Structure 1
């Protein structure tokens, strides 16, 4: 049965396989009228196999194992029913931990279909009140709940396009005369047809990407797609089908979608070809693995068909014309401003962009390699900027010079996936275990002062790599100094530790890392303290909170925590026992700064003594 408001029409704010940061969405998000506290029902007979509490992610979550081998999951719960809540609370007190993952014995907590197991909420990483609901098989594959015949969800709406993109996949490939990725916006005509209004020309090997969504009836939220099919000249070259997927492979989403574009813009494009390292079993594809081979100088028709779970379809057809051969390089409008150089890496292609060149004819770029120099002629002009292309599979440049302007590139070494490897110089060692990479990495490293830059944050990683470097700038307090991933004004805690005069840290994302010192302890503000409850706000401005510990007369007290509201509140093991005596609240951040707040709790009101003799006289 439907796990919330069964028998009533409902809609979704998320579907199976929606593209999320570092994971495919594992189930459906059922709307709860923007409210918490709705009754959540067991979808079928079974027993509770797991109860957990996470600060982020699922929040409060219940897993139910069913006799047919399936497991249903209910996430972001506000509270559990009395029996399960008592078991959970006892486990938290025994471990003295808010976060916990409990596995009851089989049939310790049997449930019947339709039994109330919890109330819906907004705990964990939820962005608003809803019920997250999953169905898993006995191999932990995630199944699409909408294929189980729930009548509460109606879908009369077809999928829709937002954008598509064409990505040149080799240094010699071009689309509309350029080596970089070309986004395009389909337009929906009044008759319902989708078209591209911009002409397209291309040559070489291209990858097609799709940014598209679905909606269920009655919902404004964008959901994912069930299927995408790509045809080239009426022959299928690629198909993606999301009706189930293995939970342990969810991080491979970073190869399914264009991870670099997601990091830069937040847009999550489906790659409609198989990227190197992608082993997901969600596809059908031809001998080119879905890539479009446009080498013959002919026009080709591309057809994209989107499907939702109800088999509604949306189709876009467009023609790709051949690129003009031997087109002359356009002239520049000379500039008196200082020349500026920029670089980007797309697939295995290094693209150099030169702005404000002083001459009408773009000069040849000097690409400096280890012990050699490569002349790179301009490839094309766009918006009065000159573009140059270098094949990173052949060359790893140290820097590039155009005119008098030099751009450091800092490429050091190729690192292959599936092999342990390292780069080392006198001040830094970067180590990659065999499971770190999905694809060949053109390692770029720069280090100065207390800052280290390793490639760009647009390259996905499967697992952690390690950095061991020698800082050269003085530190205010090395004991409270750790590494942060920095981008603009954003600083994300990474951590690490000192070993003699060197600092060592592990990361699962590329970018710029900097040693920063956190001397400010967390800020704690008590909002309520009496015999019934303790409530406070807890905040930290840099390294982030590490531990929260509350004691009343030396006895550990469970504090529930909602990071979205920076709020903690007490949850008694024995609700009838009043809080009395001394409260000690300790909050520590990840740099080791500790804030301790001590307060006396007011005594609980005492029952008024009754004089039985006086009562007897009054009655007489």
Structure 2
């Protein structure tokens, strides 16, 4: 049987590359007309979207159905991320994932609650053996919610290969989503790749707007772009589904130069451990600066993403004086709808002035030391060789350390070490590093040792020392009159921290651990009274302990009647 599953999965992978519907017996996870609010491999912050998002009109509670027979293999509950998530492993080599659930179906929920109480914690990740929790196709397994890092009620749905856990575009399995709308191409950006290369006579990238003419996109004015040397092209494109104005991601990009494929990428499957390469797949700096998302049709030197299917010379086009290059860029969505942009490059022979800015090797480790700061960079921290420097300005607590340029993406964590000023040593217990962006700042962590504060960060930019000595605040939310919660479904508390964030919490009712769910979006701790063991018709004590990122602790002893 295992051999048959492997053959089935190999056939499915072949179908993926052919962009065909994958034969299967799965049903949709919802019983409503599908409204897709997010598609597979959409460009998200630091990652590709790993599934599709089913919209439900903001309504919490729609039934979620198992798409096929299988075993519940994993339940993960967290205050952020996927919130309440359920994993079902199917006998055909796939695993389906359902995330941001409001709650699980009763049979599953009873086991989940038992796990909460066994571990005495809200966040948990539990795996189950085959046969321990079997479900049938069409069985209700949960209800649509808004838990975790969700901005509104919806179902995040994934299909993964069971063995490699790589997510696959679910629309390749579901034939009930209709789409006859081709992708939209807004423009392109052309890049001089190395020293001396030029675009329109200058050694810097330039954006060109695209217009649709007789079914084909062309550059505004339809004139050749003058260039010289090694050139890269990126394209600004999005997709829409039939009857929807929701911006969606694309399935594939192919660049053909003089009738030969120079670059092709297919976003039908990827590895979670490669998802941060999204910052190399796009023009990260341009997105930070302008908000525009440019998909690069060339590959950075240290980009190991495996979505590239056919790449010659890393997608780089070489254009010499008086040379002409005919370029076609084809963009497709999952349903095979295609848009084409046609353009020409014309060699003008202009050699741009060479840059004197020093760069570091993006794939090699490096230690950069300046007065009172040391930065440890591991190997493969960057996607290409990049300019990098460390400077500082100001004094004392207001001193700001500029670590590289914020428009350059980091793949790996780097360690920023700052010497603690002598005047701050008595307060070292409350000291941390903060990421500075204009007038605002955000907690960046850090540990102190031997007079230094060290923090692992994954963004370049401005940092400074900060102090957080204020413990979290804990108050009742919508408190019941006289503390009488008879007839109420929940106990709710507001928990807020002014800087380093909520790191942990523990709630006890009458001296025993009690299940409270933490919703970081609303700063609430919520106790579902029907899901906890509690004696009714009596007065109860409630002890709440909340700790922030720097260990500041608040303990509240409260009382209520239920």
Alignment of 1:574 with 2:519, yes or no, is no
Confirm or deny: 8 A CA contact 2:362 2:382 kept in the other structure: yes
104-113 vs 512-521, greater mean Cα deviation = 512-521
Unaligned runs of 5+ in 2: 1-25
Label 1:106 to 1:435 Cα distance change in 2 as closer, same or farther (>3 A).
farther
- Which entry has the higher C-alpha Rg, 1 or 2? 1
Q: Does the residue aligned with 1:113 lie in a helix, a strand or coil?
A: coil
Aligned pairs, number: 520
Aligned equivalent of 1:390, options 351, 355, 361: 355
Instruction: State the TM-score, normalizing by the size of structure 2.
Output: 0.87
Cα distance, 1:435 vs. partner?
A: 4.7
Cα distance, 1:74 vs. partner?
A: 0.6
Deviations 1:366-408 (A, max 9, x none): xxxxxxxxxxxxx6xxxxxxxx75244xxx3xxxxxxxxxxxx
Label 1:145 to 1:325 Cα distance change in 2 as closer, same or farther (>3 A).
closer
Alignment of 1:288 with 2:234, yes or no, is no
Distance 2:421 2:360 in 1: 27
Alignment of 1:470 with 2:419, yes or no, is yes
Aligned to 2:475: 525
Distance 1:464 1:580 in 2: 50
Cα distance, 1:416 vs. partner?
A: 4.9
Distance 2:206 2:427 in 1: 48
Distance 1:489 1:226 in 2: 39
Q: Which has the higher contact order (CA 8 A, sep 6+)?
A: 2
Alignment of 1:155 with 2:104, yes or no, is no
* Alignment map for 1:53-64 (pairs within 5 Å): 53-64=77-88
Instruction: State the TM-score, normalizing by the size of structure 1.
Output: 0.79
Confirm or deny: 8 A CA contact 1:552 1:580 kept in the other structure: no
Between Structure 1 and Structure 2, the one with more helix by share is: 2
Aligned to 2:74: 50
Label 1:33 to 1:427 Cα distance change in 2 as closer, same or farther (>3 A).
closer
Aligned equivalent of 2:408, options 440, 451, 459: 459
Deviations 1:166-222 (A, max 9, x none): 111112111122222211221234x44322114422111111111211122232211
Distance 1:103 1:514 in 2: 41
Alignment of 1:439 with 2:384, yes or no, is yes
Confirm or deny: 8 A CA contact 1:585 1:597 kept in the other structure: yes
249-258 vs 573-582, greater mean Cα deviation = 573-582
Confirm or deny: 8 A CA contact 2:208 2:220 kept in the other structure: no
Aligned to 1:592: 551
Confirm or deny: 8 A CA contact 1:557 1:571 kept in the other structure: no
Distance 1:441 1:209 in 2: 19
Distance 1:209 1:490 in 2: 32
Calculate the aligned-residue CA RMSD, in Å. 2.2
307-316 vs 447-456, greater mean Cα deviation = 447-456
* Alignment map for 1:320-331 (pairs within 5 Å): 320-323=345-348, 325=350
Confirm or deny: 8 A CA contact 1:171 1:391 kept in the other structure: no
Distance 1:323 1:215 in 2: 38
Label 1:2 to 1:30 Cα distance change in 2 as closer, same or farther (>3 A).
farther
Alignment of 1:583 with 2:528, yes or no, is no
Aligned to 1:563: 520
Alignment of 1:263 with 2:288, yes or no, is yes
130-139 vs 516-525, greater mean Cα deviation = 516-525
Aligned equivalent of 1:9, options 33, 38, 41: 33
Q: Does the residue aligned with 1:390 lie in a helix, a strand or coil?
A: coil
Aligned equivalent of 1:193, options 199, 216, 219: 216
Distance 2:521 2:245 in 1: 23
Cα distance, 1:136 vs. partner?
A: 0.9
Distance 1:319 1:429 in 2: 47
Unaligned runs of 5+ in 1: 327-378, 380-387, 397-412, 605-620
Alignment of 1:424 with 2:369, yes or no, is yes
Confirm or deny: 8 A CA contact 1:587 1:595 kept in the other structure: yes
Q: Does the residue aligned with 2:278 lie in a helix, a strand or coil?
A: helix
Cα distance, 1:67 vs. partner?
A: 0.8
Deviations 1:503-529 (A, max 9, x none): 222112211111111233323220235
Alignment of 1:67 with 2:67, yes or no, is no
Confirm or deny: 8 A CA contact 1:9 1:154 kept in the other structure: no
Distance 1:426 1:453 in 2: 13
Aligned to 2:343: 318
Aligned to 2:44: 20
Label 1:576 to 1:82 Cα distance change in 2 as closer, same or farther (>3 A).
farther
